[in-house]
Amino acid sequence: MENRRTFLKTACKPIVLAALGIPYLEACSTEDELDDANQANNPTINSKNELKINIKNTGFSSLLEIGGWMNYTAEKLLLVRISTSEIRVFDNKCPHQGNRDRWVYNGNEFTCQHHNNSYSNSCSGSLTCYKSNLEGDVLTISFN
């Protein structure tokens, strides 16, 4: 009986963690699109509550093509390339539950993967839209 108890004490924890641990860890994790090195040399916030991003820098290459998008979790933003002259910028906070980390984009709308709620890529939709200006390869986002 003592051997069985010892076995259960040592074997049950790894089995439970193997069965439940990975989904739990995935649900609580976030996906940063950029590593610390890219964050240090890419965007800059100035005193005018603006964020400037050179989209040619590593980590933003998805925005070079029309229809390209990214969840820029470091700044809590969703960015989508609408045309050669427009990139729309949204707060990446889901209006339903406030989640920020698991988004997909289908060309017309963003879908939060936590509860599958979808939101238009229009600035008149449910997601908070920020003013942005694209001049050459520099995207300026205004938070005023």
Is the pLDDT reported for residue 101 higher than 70?
yes
Percent over 90 (pLDDT), the chain: 60
pLDDT at residue 91 greater than cutoff 50: yes
Per-residue pLDDT reduced to its tens digit, 29-69: 444 444 433 443 456 666 569 999 999 998 999 999 999 99
- Average pLDDT for the chain: 81
pLDDT of 97 reads 87
Question: pTM for this one?
Answer: 0.68
pLDDT over 70 (residue 120) = yes
Give, as one character, the DSSP assignment of residue 37. H
Work out the average pLDDT over 121-126: 93
Indicate whether 139 pLDDT > 50: yes
Euclidean distance between CA atoms 59 and 37, whole angstroms: 10
Predicted pLDDT at 144:
83
**In Å, how far are 3, 13, 139 from 60, measured between CA atoms?**
57, 42, 11
In this prediction, residue 138 has a pLDDT band, given cuts at 50, 70 and 90, of very high
Domains identified in the chain and CATH numbers: 1-30 (no CATH), 36-142 (2.102.10)
| DSSP track, 73-138 | TTTTEEEEEEETTEEEEEE---TTT---S-EEE-SSEEEETTTTEEEESSTTSSS-EEEEEEETTE
CB neighbour list of residue 35: distance below 8 Å, 6 or more residues apart:
59
Better-scored residue on pLDDT, 20 or 65: 65
